[in-house]
Structures are given as C-alpha cells and as structure tokens.
Amino acid sequence: MSTACANPSRLRGSARTLSAVSLLLPQKDGEPLTFRSQHARLVPLRVWFRWMTRQNHILHNPASEIELPRLGRTLPKTILSVEEVERIMTLCEVEEPIGLRDRAILETSMQPACGVWKWCA
C-alpha cells in the first residue's frame, strides 16, 4: 500500500473517497465482509459526507449514490416454550390494577401481528 493511501488526510476529492472505500476490502483472512459489517462501515461514511456537503466543505456528496446492503432479519436465538409463556402469564396478579395492566400488555405483545416496537411509539 502506498503512503498516500495510508494517510487519507493527504488526499483530495475523489482520491479520498477511494481511500474510504478501501474500508470495504476483504478481511485479513481473505473472507469478504458480511453485509452487517459493510453496513456498519458505510453508514458513518454516508453521514460524514452528508455533513461535509451541508457545511459546504465539498460541492457534491460522493456517498449519496452508495446503496447500503440489505440486512436480513434474524430470528431470536431462544424461543420460550408454551409452558414458560403460561408460567409468565400466571405471574401477573390480575386482582391488582397494575397486574391486570401487565397481563394485558403481555397478552397483546404475544400476538403474532404485534411487535415490541408498537409499544415504544
């Protein structure tokens, strides 16, 4: 690797962009980066170039046309059994208002079409 690429602050314009893209080169063992690793490296780069453009440090955002890799959704590693879910549901004291509320939240969140993100909104 040349010394110019080793020090990105010495580069200008598109050469600096090319040096930044070197972040996506394969790992040391020769394996390609996972989509998650690529995504994690590209997002800060896009944000930085967007900031540079808004601050008028550069005229054009070279990262505006970079498409981020699609991240697949993963299933949870552990899933509760039916007995575990029933045991959790029986822990709520439905005689108390807070227990009744907790039971309603648990039952609603256990529905297939309802995710935790709906509770955060």
- Tens digits of residue pLDDT in 24-48: 666 777 777 788 888 888 889 899 9
Whether the per-residue pLDDT at 95 is higher than 80: the answer is yes
Helices (H), 22-110: 35-54, 82-91, 97-109
Higher pLDDT, 8 or 43: 43
Cα–Cα–Cα angle for 21, 27, 31, nearest 5°? 115
pTM: 0.44
Total residue count of the chain as it appears in this document = 121
